[in-house]
Structure 1
Amino acid sequence: MTSRRHRSPSPAALDDDDLLFEILLRLPPQPSSLPRASLVNKRWRRLASDPGFLHRFRIHHRRSAPILGCFVERAHGISFEPTLEAPNRVPPGRFSLRFEEGDRFGLLDCRHDLVLVHNQTRCKFLVWDPITCEQHHLAIPAGFDSETNEISGAVLRAGGDVQHFEVVFVRYDDIRHGQAAVACVYSSEMSLWSDLISTPLPWLSPFDNTISTAHPAVLAGDALYWFVTAGSDEILEFDLWKHKLAVIQLPVHVYEEHFTFRRTDSGVLGFLHVSSLTAQLWQRKTDCEGVASWELGRTIELDKLLSMNSENRWYSMICFAQDNNVVFLLTVVGLFAVQLQTLEFKKLPQTNIGSYCLPFESVYNADIGGEHGGADLFHNA
């Protein structure tokens, strides 16, 4: 019997630039993929470094982008801490952002390749694309320009090839709107802010109600969600289509350091609650009559999963990568990334990630032939 061998594309077929384009487009979205392909010959290098192709490659893999690392606040700016191993490990200095001396700033959100920063000193938002280095400075709407205001926010952009983005900021307001949450939306397409949107918040005390800055918003379906702090057991929902705020009750009492939002595999809102290294995965269900309720899904014994004994049970849940469904747990034996669907986990390389950081899920093309060339990826391989 004659065995059949897998046939590679014929050399004549690969002479077709359109076909080669489609082949390269389907390479894995790892940082080393295109630099490796560019080493085949000059023609592959030319196509793999073409700006139009790189843009398509980034868009094509946007929903399956790897976790490149985490952004962390430092004294004078924002640093990037890589979490991948060689040859996909992005150089730590590749993504960095520095501010003027004396500027106070807060890292708010990271989504759709964009990072949102609140410059409290200059009363502005900064929308930053670390891959392209583009920066957009937005003045905070009138009436909320005090640097003492504690503001939460989210950044997002439409899918596909759309480059326009939106910024949604929310804050607690007890002056003009009583005990209320107030939101406003910026559209880069229109270059303006919307009218203010508000909803009442339950009264606790003048110091209790704030919109949490310790947890970035989660995007689930057509809405953004924030945690309302101070033991209120409530979350804030902002409907992106209706531009409407609402308050939703949580099913259990949670503490900020043991709680994080998540988007479930079906795209609906969920959350992860960890107590004594037991993780509970909850999700929100809506019945045929539109009535919403919470449902407890899986329970995961993290100490057994990570083989932690009674002497090293300390942990800190520092961040959650929404698109990859991965939670980062800092323990006495190291930093772990746990995939909540498959329960696969790995101990990450030694990093300087602190108690608050934002995962960066994006497609990095290693600037083939540019200032930060792909060779940087292979230097420490």
Structure 2
Amino acid sequence: MRPCCSSRSSPALLPIWPFPHTNPGRRFARPTTAERTMAPPPPELIDDVAAEIFLRLPPDEPEHLVRASLVCKPWLRVISDPDFLRRYRTFHRTPPLLGYAYRLRIHEEDPEPRLIPTTAVPLTPNPNFRRAIDCNHGRVLLHAYDEDYYYYLIVWDPVTGDRQSVPEPEIDWLIYSAAVFCAVSGCDHLNCHGGPFRVVFIATDERDSKCRGVKACVYSSETGAWSRPVTLGDGCQTYVHHMQDGRNCGYYGRFDIPYVQPRRGAVIGDEIYFTVHKDAAIVKYDCSKNCLSMINAPSKDQYNIALMEMKDGSLGFVYIKGSNLYIWSRKVNSEGAAEWVKFRVIKLKTMIPTANSHDKLYVVGAAEGVGVIFVSSSAGLFTIKLNSGQVKKVNEPGVYFSILPYMSFCTPDCGKIIARKAEDSLISDVPCN
């Protein structure tokens, strides 16, 4: 017996082509040539494969990771996953340079109080402040005052927007510097957001007639208090020689005290290093012992210098003499004594442009970890990448004294992405200067 219907006689068994047509009569028609050549939709990326691709996006261009997270919900889920973010930071190891603030020379007015971004992803809005003092471990240390001109410090996280006020220490200062850093022992500083911190404040006090000189103390966010101030005194033999040399040449005048330079210091473990004016000497504050000491510089005739942490954890000393950039490292020798070792010399004669051939170059900062040195010339502010020699202009000419590089991972957070996407302001198409 023949079946009651066949593929030849039943229109219901004819192939149905899922292409839209304006003519209803073509519903069951065969596809046109153009329709047959249409490619099928691409298969969705498996989450593990997508994560491996996203893992390799450069951290110093965080806009790529942010844009990828806005494509679809599955990608957002992968990128905002805490395990992926942990892997991403571990894979790249070093927090990238996201921006910088700067200090001008002492006789100049304070620059515009803002953190200048170096990427297309905008950071959180700048707080109201007078001047920037330091950047370390994902935090920026700012000096501010209220409407009654009461001075205080602000510890600001530009990625999360978190701000904490810190009272000024009880030190009468003429000139000062300070450093902020993570207080968690053994931290790798890849994701220090929201953790406890410390602030070291160091200053030259000339008002205290009984105890004038360099003083320092440390603030702990865990206790909410400053330590007892300590003074650099005659117990440090290097300091005694430094003071004697100053008296012999009449350098210090009637005050007879060294002056802390208001430039960024170097944080290496529990030891924080700053510079004083004469002979480019270095003052070390040891947080664990709450004491000050002094170290001689490898070259005493330098004024424009930068301190930095080297890859091996030693103290680095950078300056320019003539047309060469010198990098020294303070190493511990076989006898257990620390000594300066010349690490590298870079010829800058044709690398950094100047407005005139006789104009000088000045080192004004260093971004440790990423291997970037900031150099100021009459043609502008430039960065030099030590591993490649690449030079990039980042700002116009100015009387720069100390560059404060801000380094942190800027990875997408699910809640912030959705909120900012609604405002349509997450990514700026305006190129960064």
**TM-score, with length taken from structure 2:** 0.70
1:279-310 CA distance string (max 9 Å, x none): 11111121233211111222211113447797
Asked if 1 retains the 8 angstrom alpha-carbon contact of 2:135 and 2:405, the reply is: yes
What is residue 153 of structure 2 aligned with on the other side?
125
Q: Check 1:110–1:256 CA distance in 2 against 1; reply closer, same or farther (3 A cut).
A: same
Q: CA deviation at 1:167?
A: 0.5
Give the SS at the match of 2:113.
strand
Alignment partner of 1:225 is 2:273: yes
Q: CA deviation at 1:89?
A: 2.6
Give the SS at the match of 1:169.
strand
Match of 1:263 among 277, 294, 309: 309
What is residue 44 of structure 1 aligned with on the other side?
75
Q: Check 1:346–1:323 CA distance in 2 against 1; reply closer, same or farther (3 A cut).
A: same
User: What runs of 5+ residues in structure 1 fail to find an aligned partner?
Assistant: 1-9, 100-104
Alpha-carbon distance between aligned partners in 1 of 2:426 and 2:222, rounded to the nearest angstrom:
36
Alpha-carbon distance between aligned partners in 2 of 1:237 and 1:123, rounded to the nearest angstrom:
26
What is residue 6 of structure 1 aligned with on the other side?
none
Q: CA deviation at 1:332?
A: 3.7
Q: Percent identity?
A: 27
Alpha-carbon distance between aligned partners in 2 of 1:324 and 1:11, rounded to the nearest angstrom:
36
What is residue 198 of structure 1 aligned with on the other side?
231
1:339-379 CA distance string (max 9 Å, x none): 23x24222235558761431211222465233377864362
Q: CA deviation at 1:96?
A: 2.1
- After TM superposition, the structure 1 stretch with the greater mean CA deviation from structure 2, 121-130 or 154-163, is 154-163
What is residue 362 of structure 1 aligned with on the other side?
408
After TM superposition, the structure 1 = structure 2 runs for residues 108-123 of structure 1, keeping only pairs within 5 Å, are 108-119=133-144, 121-123=149-151
Q: CA deviation at 1:209?
A: 1.2
Match of 1:252 among 282, 288, 299: 299
What is residue 274 of structure 1 aligned with on the other side?
320
Q: Check 1:59–1:344 CA distance in 2 against 1; reply closer, same or farther (3 A cut).
A: same
Q: CA deviation at 1:138?
A: 1.2
Alpha-carbon distance between aligned partners in 2 of 1:380 and 1:239, rounded to the nearest angstrom:
44
Q: Check 1:217–1:378 CA distance in 2 against 1; reply closer, same or farther (3 A cut).
A: same
Q: Check 1:306–1:72 CA distance in 2 against 1; reply closer, same or farther (3 A cut).
A: closer
Q: Check 1:192–1:54 CA distance in 2 against 1; reply closer, same or farther (3 A cut).
A: farther
Aligned residues: 351
Asked if 2 retains the 8 angstrom alpha-carbon contact of 1:62 and 1:112, the reply is: no
Asked if 2 retains the 8 angstrom alpha-carbon contact of 1:277 and 1:313, the reply is: no
Q: Check 1:273–1:27 CA distance in 2 against 1; reply closer, same or farther (3 A cut).
A: same
Alpha-carbon distance between aligned partners in 1 of 2:331 and 2:111, rounded to the nearest angstrom:
43
Asked if 1 retains the 8 angstrom alpha-carbon contact of 2:320 and 2:362, the reply is: no
Q: CA deviation at 1:61?
A: 7.2
Asked if 1 retains the 8 angstrom alpha-carbon contact of 2:204 and 2:214, the reply is: yes
1:134-153 CA distance string (max 9 Å, x none): 111111233x2x5x642211
Match of 2:126 among 96, 100, 108: 96
Q: CA deviation at 1:55?
A: 7.1
Give the SS at the match of 2:419.
coil
Looking at CA atoms only, which structure, 1 or 2, has the larger radius of gyration?
Answer: 2
Q: Check 1:332–1:182 CA distance in 2 against 1; reply closer, same or farther (3 A cut).
A: closer
1:140-185 CA distance string (max 9 Å, x none): 233x2x5x64221100003246611111111123526635422211
Give the SS at the match of 1:377.
coil
Q: CA deviation at 1:109?
A: 0.6
Code of the aligned partner of 1:43:
P
Match of 1:82 among 117, 125, 128: 117
What is residue 347 of structure 2 aligned with on the other side?
301
Q: Check 1:279–1:53 CA distance in 2 against 1; reply closer, same or farther (3 A cut).
A: same
Q: Check 1:347–1:235 CA distance in 2 against 1; reply closer, same or farther (3 A cut).
A: same
Alpha-carbon distance between aligned partners in 2 of 1:109 and 1:123, rounded to the nearest angstrom:
17
Q: Check 1:164–1:54 CA distance in 2 against 1; reply closer, same or farther (3 A cut).
A: farther
Alpha-carbon distance between aligned partners in 1 of 2:400 and 2:355, rounded to the nearest angstrom:
23
Code of the aligned partner of 1:154:
A
1:216-263 CA distance string (max 9 Å, x none): 11123441100011x234110122333332111113223322x11122
Q: Check 1:180–1:136 CA distance in 2 against 1; reply closer, same or farther (3 A cut).
A: same
Alignment partner of 1:377 is 2:408: no
Alpha-carbon distance between aligned partners in 2 of 1:20 and 1:271, rounded to the nearest angstrom:
43
Code of the aligned partner of 1:241:
S
What is residue 202 of structure 2 aligned with on the other side?
170
Alpha-carbon distance between aligned partners in 2 of 1:351 and 1:233, rounded to the nearest angstrom:
27
More strand by share: 1
Alpha-carbon distance between aligned partners in 2 of 1:250 and 1:354, rounded to the nearest angstrom:
24
Code of the aligned partner of 1:211:
V
Asked if 1 retains the 8 angstrom alpha-carbon contact of 2:113 and 2:131, the reply is: no
What is residue 242 of structure 1 aligned with on the other side?
289
Alpha-carbon distance between aligned partners in 1 of 2:229 and 2:110, rounded to the nearest angstrom:
33
Asked if 1 retains the 8 angstrom alpha-carbon contact of 2:319 and 2:327, the reply is: yes
Alpha-carbon distance between aligned partners in 2 of 1:48 and 1:36, rounded to the nearest angstrom:
11
Alpha-carbon distance between aligned partners in 1 of 2:289 and 2:51, rounded to the nearest angstrom:
40
Aligned-residue Cα RMSD (Å) equals: 3.4
Q: Check 1:355–1:58 CA distance in 2 against 1; reply closer, same or farther (3 A cut).
A: farther
Asked if 2 retains the 8 angstrom alpha-carbon contact of 1:228 and 1:234, the reply is: yes
Alpha-carbon distance between aligned partners in 1 of 2:113 and 2:330, rounded to the nearest angstrom:
34
What is residue 66 of structure 2 aligned with on the other side?
35
What is residue 385 of structure 2 aligned with on the other side?
339
1:313-355 CA distance string (max 9 Å, x none): 4333332212322112233444321123x24222235558761
